[in-house]
Amino acid sequence: MTNKFQMNNDYMMRKSQIVGSQKVTNTQTSEQTVAKTQKSFSEVLNQIESQSELKFSKHAASRLATRNIELTSTEMNRLNSAVSKASSKGIKEALILMDNKVFIASVQNKTIITASTEDDLKDNVFTNIDGAVIV
């Protein structure tokens, strides 16, 4: 019996050392998680602030290139203004008509999804939009 008790006592000592070290590790992990959370929050905040500018999806960028659509800084300002107007009206996906160009924008993400010209619009149907802005 003494042998059994001594073995159990040794086992309990080792277990408490292991569990004790895990508690320290867990505390360190919690502190690291808090630091990561704070870092993640600041990254998210920076991302939100950077989203005030209009972006183009890869699809829209390729459409601009293949259809030879070039945008001036004035036109970019007009697009930004159109997305802002759409946002103020609660529109989520907008059709934006500007001169002889057409854009589909994700208003919430401030992203142009696709772009087209007047020549490419014949017999086209636009779906999944809930508003239009003419600038």
131-134 sheet: strands from edge to edge: 55-56, 111-117, 101-106, 93-98, 131-134
Rounded distance between C-alpha atoms, residue 130 and residue 95, angstroms: 8
Rounded distance between C-alpha atoms, residue 44 and residue 74, angstroms: 29
Report the sign of the C-alpha dihedral through residues 35, 38, 40, 46, in that order.
negative
Name the range with the highest mean pLDDT among 32-36, 111-115, 118-122: 111-115
Q: Contact, 116 vs 101, CB < 8 A?
A: yes
What is the per-residue pLDDT for 66? 93
Residue type, 113: I
Does 8 score more than 70 pLDDT? Answer: no
Residue-wise pLDDT for 95-116, tens only, equals 999 999 999 999 999 999 999 9
Sequence ranges of the domains in the chain: 1-50, 55-134
Residue type, 16: S
Does 131 score more than 70 pLDDT? Answer: yes
